[in-house]
Amino acid sequence: MKTWAHRKADGRRLLLYGTTAYVLPPLAEGPSITENLSHLRWHPLRMEWVAYAAGRQERAFLPPAEFCPLCPTRPGGPPTEIPFEDFEVAVFENRFPAFADQPGPLPEIPGETAQAAGACEVVVYTPEHTGSLGTLAQERRELLVRVWAQRYRELCEREGVRFVMPFENRGEAVGVTLHHPHGQIYAYPFVPPVLQAEVAAFRRGPVLQNLLAQVGSRYIVEEDDAAAVIVPPFARFPYEVWVVPKRAQPGPWTFEDAEVTAVARTLGRVVSRYDALFARPFPYVMVLHAAPKGEEAHFHFHVEFYPVMRGADRLKYLAGTELGAGTYTVDVLPEDAARALRQVEP
Question: Which residues are marked as active site?
Answer: 182
Coil, helix or strand at residue 341: helix
CB of 196 to a copy of itself, least distance (A): 8
CB of 259 to a copy of itself, least distance (A): 20
CA distance 57 to 69: 16
Residue whose CB is less far from a copy of itself, 11 or 107:
107
From residue 298, give the alpha-carbon distance in Å to each of 196, 200, 203: 13, 10, 6
What is the CB neighbour count within 10 angstroms for residue 233? 15
CB of 48 to a copy of itself, least distance (A): 7
CB of 5 to a copy of itself, least distance (A): 25
Residue whose CB is less far from a copy of itself, 28 or 318:
318
Residue whose CB is less far from a copy of itself, 5 or 325:
325
What is the CB neighbour count within 10 angstroms for residue 77? 14
Cβ partners under 8 Å of residue 230, min gap 6? 211, 212, 215, 219, 220, 221, 241, 242, 244, 338
B/e letters for 104-120, b = 16+ CB within 10 Å, e = fewer, are: beeeeeeeebebbbbbb
Classify residue 157 by its DSSP letter: H
CA distance 331 to 311: 10
CA distance 244 to 71: 32
Transcribe 116-128 into DSSP letters: -BSEEEEEE--SS
Cβ partners under 8 Å of residue 121, min gap 6? 91, 92, 93, 94, 151, 184, 185, 187
CB of 174 to a copy of itself, least distance (A): 5
CB of 73 to a copy of itself, least distance (A): 27
Helix boundaries (H) for 241-312: 257-277
Residue whose CB is less far from a copy of itself, 20 or 327:
327
Residue whose CB is less far from a copy of itself, 69 or 292:
292
Q: Which helix (H) or strand (E) holds 4?
A: strand 2-7
Residue whose CB is less far from a copy of itself, 25 or 320:
320
